[in-house]
């Protein structure tokens, strides 16, 4: 409030306040004319109303109510992220045995089941898994994946036409290889081939086939053989694995390397002519 040092300041302040009071009383009286036609009847009510507002504003402090800000705690955040007990990701229920319908032979099913159980027991459970944990969920999951893959292979084998396979496809394949061998033998010379040892003949044929770009990529080197088998097994696993496992890079890579290095490569070495005829030579 302005400091009143002189009488003139006091008179000016009184005039200003009187003017404001008169304006407020007149405005309220005017609005009250909507309820009462007499302006003089509304004047005392307006004066009382203005005085009441003046007392109210002087005696009561009005503050804006501030809503408290609720801060999310870390525990409440964890409660929202917590999985339900019935969540499917926590379920350990065994997968349905769809592979049995694809094999559709109780005798074969029992034989495959016993064979896979022995392999898992000897090479997984007893070898290293039992030293980590007594839980059996992981071996059962591996068993389910293997059974599904074998069931898919069985279903695809049933769709093969054995007559066409034995009388046309295999014969054509063997005939193509014989024609390829005879062409390269004629280029090298039959007499020259007769004077060479088996290792020298293989090297000479390999050289000519590589020059004509007819040599199979798997025969170039052991590394090339591994790469070819790796790519073939990757394609096989894409077809026989369940979509959930086939789309997982970790499972797909581990299964591919196990199948390539521990199954297919030993079988290829076992089927090589040197390994087959070596016992007879001894």
Residue 94: pLDDT band with limits 50, 70, 90? low
* Out of 19-23, 51-55, 62-66, 135-139, least confident range: 62-66
Residue 1: pLDDT band with limits 50, 70, 90? very low
Residue 62: pLDDT band with limits 50, 70, 90? low
Mean predicted confidence (pLDDT) in 240-246: 85
Mean predicted confidence (pLDDT) in 202-211: 87
pLDDT on residue 4: 46
In the chain, what is the greatest distance between 2 CA atoms, to the nearest angstrom? 144
Residue 233 and residue 256 in contact, taking contact as beta carbons nearer than 8 Å: yes
Phi, psi (degrees; rounded to nearest 5) at 209 = -65, -35
CA distance 161 to 41: 113
* Out of 56-70, 91-105, 187-201, least confident range: 56-70
Report the chain's mean pLDDT, rounded to a whole number.
79
pLDDT exceeds cutoff 50 at 2: no
pLDDT exceeds cutoff 70 at 112: yes
CA distance 67 to 25: 37
pLDDT exceeds cutoff 90 at 118: yes
pLDDT on residue 9: 73
How many CB atoms are located within 10 Å of the residue 140 CB? 14
Residue 11: pLDDT band with limits 50, 70, 90? confident
pLDDT on residue 201: 85
- What ranges do the domains of the chain cover? 7-57, 95-151, 160-215, 217-270
Mean predicted confidence (pLDDT) in 107-112: 90
pLDDT on residue 115: 92
**pLDDT above 70: percentage of residues in the chain:** 70
Residue 29, burial from CB neighbour count under 10 angstroms (0-12, 13-18, 19+):
buried
**Model confidence, pTM:** 0.58
pLDDT on residue 179: 92
Mean predicted confidence (pLDDT) in 11-16: 75
pLDDT exceeds cutoff 70 at 86: no
Angle of CA points 98, 103, 106, to nearest 5°: 100
| CB neighbour burial string for 57-83, b if at least 16 within 10 angstroms, e if fewer | eeeeeeeeeeeeeeeeeeeeeeeeeee
Residue 233 and residue 265 in contact, taking contact as beta carbons nearer than 8 Å: no
With CA atoms as reference, report the closest residue to 136 among 123, 151, 147, 121.
121
* Out of 38-42, 55-59, 90-94, 248-252, least confident range: 90-94
What 3 state SS string does 15-71 have? HHHHHHHHHHHHHHHHHHCCCCCCHHHHHHHHHHHHHHHHHHHHHCCCCCCCCCCCC
pLDDT exceeds cutoff 70 at 171: yes
Mean predicted confidence (pLDDT) in 35-42: 64
Q: Write out the two tokens for 77.
A: 């955040």
CA distance 117 to 144: 11
| CA 251 to the chain's CA centroid | 11
């Amino acid at each position: 409030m302005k400091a009143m040092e002189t009488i003139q300041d006091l008179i000016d302040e009184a005039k200003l306040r009187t003017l404001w009071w008169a304006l407020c009383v007149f405005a309220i009286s005017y609005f009250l004319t909507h309820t009462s036609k007499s302006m003089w009847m509304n004047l005392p009510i307006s004066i009382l109303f203005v005085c009441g507002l003046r007392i109210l504003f002087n005696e009561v402090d009005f503050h804006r109510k501030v809503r408290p800000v609720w801060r999310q705690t870390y525990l409440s955040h964890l409660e929202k992220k917590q999985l339900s007990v019935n969540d499917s990701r926590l379920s350990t229920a065994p997968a349905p045995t769809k592979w049995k319908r694809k094999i559709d032979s109780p005798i074969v099913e029992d034989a495959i089941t016993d064979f896979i159980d022995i392999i898992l027991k000897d090479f997984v459970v007893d070898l290293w898994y039992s030293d980590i944990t007594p839980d059996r969920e992981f071996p059962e999951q591996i068993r389910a994946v293997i059974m599904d893959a074998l069931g898919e292979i069985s279903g695809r084998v049933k769709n093969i036409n054995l007559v066409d396979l034995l009388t046309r496809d295999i014969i054509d394949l063997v005939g193509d290889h014989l024609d390829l061998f005879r062409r390269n033998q004629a280029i090298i010379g039959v007499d020259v081939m007769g004077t060479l040892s088996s290792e020298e003949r293989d090297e000479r044929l390999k050289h000519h086939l590589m020059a004509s770009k007819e040599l199979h990529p798997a025969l170039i080197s052991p590394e090339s053989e591994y790469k070819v088998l790796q790519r073939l097994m990757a394609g096989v696993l894409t077809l026989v694995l369940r979509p959930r496992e086939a789309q997982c890079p970790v499972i797909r890579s581990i299964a591919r390397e196990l199948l390539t290095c521990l199954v297919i490569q030993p079988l290829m070495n076992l089927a090589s002519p040197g390994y087959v005829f070596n016992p007879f030579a001894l």
